[in-house]
Amino acid sequence: MNDNNSPKFAVVGHPNKGKSSIVSTLSHNDSIQISSRSGTTEQADHFTVNTIKGSYDLIDTPGFQRPLRVLNWLEQHCNSASERAATVAKFVADSECKTQFKDEVALLEPVIDGAAILYVVDGSRPYGSEYEAEMEILRWTGQPSMALINPIENNDYIGEWESALAQYFKSVRVFNPMKADFEKHIELLQTFTHLNPKWAHVLGSIIDDLQNERATQQTTSVSILMHLIEDLCQYQNCQKVLSESQAKLIKPALEKQYKAWMKQREEKAIKELLTTYAHYQTKVSLDQFDLPPDLFDCDKWFAWGLDKKQLIYAGTAAGAVSGAALDVAVAGSSLMAGAIGGGLIGAGSAWFSADKLVDIKIKGLPLGGYQACVGPIKNRNFPYVVIGRFIHLFKQISQLNHANRQALDFNASDFQDKVETLEKIEQKELHAACARLIKQKPVDSLSEVLTPLFND
């Protein structure tokens, strides 16, 4: 838990309006229980957001159950408006209230303890007078407060809510904990800074930290891909054999092991990516993704990697023709046709053919016997396929809110469009890097080459 002077926010409201979802997304914690069952959260739970320069607390609370009766109790125990906050404190401390109004005591306790109020409503359901007692009780506490409209199913009643909430709260914001992107999280935290002037400074520092952390996460992601692609492009599975005929016999087994290793290596990278973005518990479990389309499902390669036209460009960009000729080729002139016609990219070669991914190589060993090896992969599209798949997952994982427990979607890829949006020089560098990778040659500054693909 936090020290008493650091910012704290109690997330309160009707049951089942997304309070826990908001806490989960803002605290980057995917272990918080969220469910369509009303009354999921039964006690006040503190979640501390820690950064280098500070920390703040978010307190998830149970929903109001009997607000009208609670308001009645408060009115009966209060003689003057100046005693309202003290009356709420009395309510929270009262042993009978603790059993009779368990949920209200749990949700008001942190507020009486100094937490600011974040009142959550659902913008897809109409406003109703039953919420007035809740807002009135919150007003009695005298604590700084703001309202968050969570458009759970749609935006239909946002306007209605805005007018109603404005009467009780100085600040009203729409925030969707399932969909809000990182900029929206930051915008919301910035509004928190206005709730209590004493907290403004530390919250400002925390926002800076979170932005830096976000940039670091991206750098880490680039590095995960860099190691993945190097490993996948270099991997060979070798075994000693006595004769060439034995080598042919074990080829299917070697190939199977080879592919299994490659897939596992990719899964490891995805796990690292999930960890980088603090997704530990979500349904994005690795057994769930048999990674469709399969890493070796060659029919899908032109979707994940480059398409044929881009591959031709890649061939020229990787240095097969001069820079000047390259620009003409990219402009779509006849030179491109000439290049293909001229056999620059031999038909059925490693560029397009997906059937011959890996060959078996057999070589004699100095002390007798042979070594049979499967891999490294030869297909020129392969590095792009690896990059394309990873970038696709990166986009989803880096934007996945912690309240969103859905499985990831592996079907779409816009890697080709992404490559097109790179600067020409960046494209050239990418193609040159991939050309070296597929020949198992080291690439200087691979992370610099990959970084533009991760930028928005």
364 binds ligand GTP (CB under 6 A): no
Structure tokens at 191: 């509004």
Among the listed ranges 18-26, 109-117, 311-319, 320-328, the one in contact with Mg ion (CB under 5 A) is 18-26
Q: Which is nearer to Mg ion, 40 or 447 (CB)?
A: 40
The CB-of-341 to ligand GTP minimum distance in angstroms stands at 54
Among the listed ranges 35-43, 184-192, 268-276, 388-396, the one in contact with Mg ion (CB under 5 A) is 35-43
Q: Which is nearer to Mg ion, 102 or 361 (CB)?
A: 102
The CB-of-22 to Mg ion minimum distance in angstroms stands at 9
34 binds ligand GTP (CB under 6 A): yes
Q: Which is nearer to ligand GTP, 141 or 404 (CB)?
A: 404
Q: Which does 36 bind (CB under 5 to 8 A by kind): ligand GTP, Mg ion, none?
A: ligand GTP
The CB-of-40 to Mg ion minimum distance in angstroms stands at 5
Q: Show the site string, 155-174: x = touches ligand GTP by CB under 6 A, - = not.
A: --------------------
Residues 132-151 interacting with ligand GTP (rule: CB under 6 A): 150
Q: Which of 2, 6, 15, 338 binds ligand GTP (CB under 6 A)?
A: 15
66 binds ligand GTP (CB under 6 A): no
Structure tokens at 179: 């969909």
Q: Which of 8, 20, 269, 437 binds Mg ion (CB under 5 A)?
A: 20
27 binds ligand GTP (CB under 6 A): no
The CB-of-149 to Mg ion minimum distance in angstroms stands at 17
The CB-of-143 to Mg ion minimum distance in angstroms stands at 20
18 binds ligand GTP (CB under 6 A): yes
65 binds Mg ion (CB under 5 A): no
HEC string for the chain: CCCCCCCEEEEEECCCCCHHHHHHHHCCCCCCCCCCCCCCCCCCEEEEEECCCCEEEEEECCCCCCHHHHHHHHHHCCCCHHHHHHHHHHHHHCHHHHHHCHHHHHHHHHHHCCCEEEEEEECCCCCCCHHHHHHHHHHHHCCCEEEEEECCCCCCCHHHHHHHHHCCCCCEEECCCCCCCHHHHHHHHHHHCCCCHHHHHHHHHHHHHHHHHHHHHHHHHHHHHHHHHHHHHHCCEEEEECCHHHHHHHHHHHHHHHHHHHHHHHHHHHHHHHHHCCCCCCCCCCCCCCCCCCCCCHHHHHHHCCCHHHHHHHHHHHHHCCHHHHHHHHCCCHHHHHHHHCCCCCCCCCCCCCCCCCCEEEEECCCCCEEEEECCCCCCCHHHHHHHHHHHHHHHHHCCCCCCCCCCCCCCCCHHHHHHHCCHHHHHHHHHHHHHHCCCCCCCCHHHHHHHHHCC
Q: Which is nearer to ligand GTP, 15 or 319 (CB)?
A: 15
Q: Which of 10, 21, 164, 392 binds ligand GTP (CB under 6 A)?
A: 21
Q: Which does 222 bind (CB under 5 to 8 A by kind): Mg ion, ligand GTP, none?
A: none
Q: Which of 7, 54, 63, 376 binds ligand GTP (CB under 6 A)?
A: 63
Other C-beta atoms within 10 Å of 414: how many? 13
The CB-of-355 to ligand GTP minimum distance in angstroms stands at 44
Among the listed ranges 4-12, 19-27, 195-203, 342-350, the one in contact with Mg ion (CB under 5 A) is 19-27
- Contact status, residue 384 vs residue 415, Cβ threshold 8 Å: yes
Q: Which of 24, 25, 29, 41 binds Mg ion (CB under 5 A)?
A: 41
Distances from the Cα of 420 to the Cα of 152, 321, 335, 402, 442, angstroms: 36, 20, 20, 31, 25
40 binds Mg ion (CB under 5 A): yes
Using CA atoms in the order 28, 53, 61, 63, what is the torsion angle rounded to 10 degrees?
-80
Query: In the block, which residue shows the tokens 């039953």?
Result: 130
Among the listed ranges 33-41, 83-91, 438-446, 447-455, the one in contact with Mg ion (CB under 5 A) is 33-41
Q: Which does 61 bind (CB under 5 to 8 A by kind): Mg ion, ligand GTP, none?
A: none
- Contact status, residue 165 vs residue 149, Cβ threshold 8 Å: yes
Q: Which does 146 bind (CB under 5 to 8 A by kind): Mg ion, ligand GTP, none?
A: none
Among the listed ranges 176-184, 346-354, 382-390, 436-444, the one in contact with ligand GTP (CB under 6 A) is 176-184
- Contact status, residue 99 vs residue 36, Cβ threshold 8 Å: no
Cis previous bond, 366, omega within 30: no
Q: Which of 67, 110, 123, 177 binds ligand GTP (CB under 6 A)?
A: 177
The CB-of-103 to ligand GTP minimum distance in angstroms stands at 9
The CB-of-254 to Mg ion minimum distance in angstroms stands at 53
Contact set with Mg ion (CB under 5 A): 19-20, 40-41
Contact set with ligand GTP (CB under 6 A): 15-21, 34-36, 38-41, 62-63, 150, 152, 176-178
